[in-house]
Structure 1
């Protein structure tokens, strides 16, 4: 008996809304990532990949991880369903009171954590970078930078609350532009530190603080135009606060397992030769480009739609919307991963190899980038799965699965670093990503009652991506600039071929970009 032919996931109204909002987030994130490349270029020029660079990256990694854990991760994902439900059932005033109440709790709780972190910066640094204790100069510098950088989490947590409010109201642009402020501030700080102050690391640490305040300030005009004010009713005992808190506690791990794995890799890398932390940092920054522009964008846009469908118990439409999100991410992430791996050499050399960043540093970073690139599709697919579980108010499953992923990363990473140094740590992160998404997919399949119908998209995208990889390898001998310049050409050929083969995600992808650019042109 022949098996029934797999039909592609239907393009629903919610799917189109997700694609439209993902285009907004993606294009804003694209601007941020381009600025991020400029920031990394300037950072590599000013700091290189030595002792001082390692100290700054460790100091910045901690508040940046907490941003992913408590702010843009768990807070936003827990806040949106509760805020949306109160807004629908009790009206705007009650929903705004919830937001103000949470803001007061944030100031007290996160502010207290910042004070403790400043006081106990030395033991905190020893915990996240134990290998630095062997070098008193590096350890002292890292402690100094941690004290400056850490309060960033207070500002960015407040910004994440603004993002939750705006996303619930259907506005995605200003929150997505927030990271642009971080990049601009760090670029300016690095240049001032290099040319005027002679202390790049400290200047960049203060740049992190200024960026946090700027990101929060950017959201205020958009909130005001939509009728929200921080003045008004609020309560320490608002029932919605406790509902958000109850959802937040387990989401802390589940929403940011990739960042946790990266932090643990940083911890292990501190035990390796000097520069290992920096190699992993620069490689991760490059992987974050497609992951942020497409993977996180789709997951961010999908959460409000999935939450509404889960609340109305529309199980079939919920599954279709999830399938559409997974298919779109698969369609985009596969060629992105192959392109990063194939062009790892030209990309790293063209972007970073100048000033204090040597050929040795570039070679080590290339290897880490290739290892991270293998796991890019898995890491990208985790986000919509996690959003789907949280939309169904199932916060326990992602945490359990995240624990398995982290355990896999630490165990495998420690074993591989003995023979492959920092590259082994990057491989472990990729393997942990596949473990995470495989378990989440199996459990979600039982909850929605069917297998996501993205097999055809994955097969065709995989074959076309292989062609993209071969093309990239073929143009490398023509020079770094030509190789990098060929990326949009191969991207266009990939989409065109997928369109000709009737891949639905290709049509959804091109239509959402066409609508976005047409709207921008008309404006």
Structure 2
């Protein structure tokens, strides 16, 4: 389901690139969309999810269904009321928020005014999608992963429809994208309600900040705001600094970030979503060895997918961007600039994915302080590297700084888990290492030998690009799988590890 959502998200970005390119309107929309989307990842899918799921998992093992329902109602009321106030204040202060998050837009009054207007439309998405994420957390805790994973499909459907059919009817066509975001928030939230009703946990909001569970969640949330979402904060800082660069920089970073988000979302976030409830239950039942085995399995799965995905993004930056986005308003110059930042993000993809599966190792134990400490170190390092790299590499320097700080973050998370005795190599890692080296080495050689120069990709029409890219993907997957099988890896090994 996550795969369906991410692939359709790629189609959405192809439509946006063809319709609006990387100009003033696109830059303004990406800022107006990124601000509530950033806060969604920070609060709803980040700090709130990591604080709420362990508490809910503990309630599942220790109290009655009626007590769980009271917790759900109290959290729904507290979360909904808080977000409603934040949304109203943000809509009133959209001018100031835009100035904070995209100060460079002040030099272009038209771009700044457009971003402010769209932010007022997109910001209520934070309220709707956060309640959606809250509902999804409940479903995940009861092992109903498919519905929350499919829910983002509706965002992509709504934005594709508004870009194709609403935009031509509007005086400012790019405004249609902002309305698409708002409509999608309402559709996504409504979609999950019948499934909660079936569980008997459809929330009836009752704000109760004194409820024991709510107080624990709030206590865990506050420090988790930094710990789990440092990579998102770093990406937002990239947008802030990119607003001072030439027009198009925000869009170039967006398109390259979206391509790196595809494997991150399909595999990294999916695996993290699955393991958090398991880790929480294992911690609650004091199964330390099971906890370590679950983390070990998750890390191997990330390496199995993350390494070839990272290599592909770095080595196939231009072919990917040309095949997916070089239509309509997006120019060859835009492709070249986006390729620079895509390679930089591709280098850090493995670290981004590892953070997603290592952070739950702390939050499942309701330890929020350690990831906060590590997150602050990584954020400071990112800002220093941003300032050092933005001058020689412009927008690509921002992407590279984000990747380097992500490796620092992942490394520190792994070291602390190892120190606590919760992360140690299980039997078989020597063989796994050989398998990964052989399979990825073969993949690199194949790409190096068979991929045509970017000039050829530019010359092909859309169907030729699609056919060659699809053939390349299939050949790469087949070769990678064949080399893994030849070195002894079998599907049962993955299932046994889980």
Q: TM tier, shorter chain?
A: over 0.9
Aligned equivalent of 2:442, options 467, 475, 479? 467
Deviations 1:488-510 (A, max 9, x none): 22112212321332346784279
Determine if contact 1:341/1:373 at 8 Å carries over to the other structure.
yes
Q: Does 1:420 align with 2:393?
A: yes
Corresponding position of 1:433:
406
Gaps of 5+ in 2: 458-464
Deviations 1:378-437 (A, max 9, x none): 110011110011111111011111111111111111211101111111111110111111
Aligned equivalent of 2:483, options 464, 477, 497? 497
Determine if contact 1:63/1:150 at 8 Å carries over to the other structure.
yes
Corresponding position of 2:132:
159
> What is the CA-CA distance between 1:200 and the residue it aligns to?
2.8
User: What SS does the aligned partner of 1:258 have?
Assistant: helix
Match runs of 1:376-395 below 5 Å? 376-395=349-368
- Cα separation, 2, equivalents of 1:70 and 1:441: 23
Aligned equivalent of 1:111, options 84, 89, 114? 84
- Cα separation, 1, equivalents of 2:415 and 2:204: 46
- Cα separation, 2, equivalents of 1:148 and 1:99: 29
Corresponding position of 1:134:
107
Match runs of 1:260-271 below 5 Å? 260-271=233-244
> What is the CA-CA distance between 1:225 and the residue it aligns to?
1.7
Corresponding position of 1:334:
307
Q: Does 1:51 align with 2:20?
A: no
Determine if contact 1:45/1:357 at 8 Å carries over to the other structure.
yes
- Cα separation, 2, equivalents of 1:125 and 1:232: 31
Cα RMSD, aligned residues only = 1.9
- Cα separation, 2, equivalents of 1:273 and 1:214: 36
> What is the CA-CA distance between 1:220 and the residue it aligns to?
1.2
> What is the CA-CA distance between 1:257 and the residue it aligns to?
1.3
Aligned equivalent of 1:485, options 471, 486, 489? 471
Segment of structure 1 superposing worse, 83-92 or 322-331: 83-92
- Give the TM-score normalised by structure 1: 0.89
Match runs of 1:297-312 below 5 Å? 297-312=270-285
> What is the CA-CA distance between 1:196 and the residue it aligns to?
2.1
> What is the CA-CA distance between 1:258 and the residue it aligns to?
1.3
Q: Does 1:184 align with 2:170?
A: no
Corresponding position of 2:462:
none
Q: Would the alpha carbon gap of residues 449 and 194 (structure 1) be closer, same or farther in structure 2, given more than 3 Å must change?
A: closer
> What is the CA-CA distance between 1:221 and the residue it aligns to?
1.6
- Cα separation, 2, equivalents of 1:345 and 1:511: 37
- Cα separation, 2, equivalents of 1:215 and 1:280: 27
Deviations 1:442-495 (A, max 9, x none): 111111166334565345324422321231232322854314422122112212
Query: What count of residue pairs does the alignment treat as equivalent?
Result: 485
Determine if contact 1:328/1:505 at 8 Å carries over to the other structure.
no
- Cα separation, 2, equivalents of 1:263 and 1:310: 33
- Cα separation, 1, equivalents of 2:145 and 2:362: 22
- Cα separation, 1, equivalents of 2:78 and 2:423: 41
Q: Does 1:219 align with 2:205?
A: no
Corresponding position of 2:461:
none
Q: Does 1:443 align with 2:416?
A: yes
Gaps of 5+ in 1: 1-27, 513-523
Deviations 1:229-269 (A, max 9, x none): 33498744321111111111111111111111110011111
User: What SS does the aligned partner of 1:271 have?
Assistant: coil
User: What SS does the aligned partner of 2:151 have?
Assistant: helix
Match runs of 1:145-156 below 5 Å? 145-156=118-129
